[in-house]
Amino acid sequence: MAWSVAYCMQTEIDEINILNASILAMHKAVSNLKIKPEFLLIDGNRFKPYKNIAHKCFIKGDGIYASIAAASVLAKTHRDEYMLNLHHHFPQYKWNKNKAYATAEHIQAIKLLVIAYITANHFT
């Protein structure tokens, strides 16, 4: 009937922490829905109330409710597409392989890029 994907930038995550940023992203997604839900099913154990819509949290909710599972697939598919797009702009981070998870190869690439930056800018 309706769907929305939302996210928070790394600056927001740094400012309010990953849990609050996740909740904020969920709030943004609900705000962007063309059809307002009557009730929110939340995958996890924490959520902050959203305006006048009741909610309930479910640990491992994607294994309980098809709607939560569908939302999880939608979010992961959207994230994977975003990461592939980032890879085209920043291939040195190998986003096409790690999809935002810190792999050993990704961490090594970051270290090498930081060293190159420090060397190029004469930081010690």
Q: How confident is the model over 15-25, as a mean pLDDT?
A: 97
Express each pLDDT in 63-91 by its tens digit. Answer: 999 999 999 999 999 999 998 998 999 88
Q: Which pLDDT score, from 0 to 100, does residue 32 have?
A: 97
Distance in angstroms (rounded) separating the CA atoms of residues 22 and 54? 18
Q: Which pLDDT score, from 0 to 100, does residue 97 have?
A: 83
Handedness of CA 34, 39, 41, 42 (dihedral sign): positive
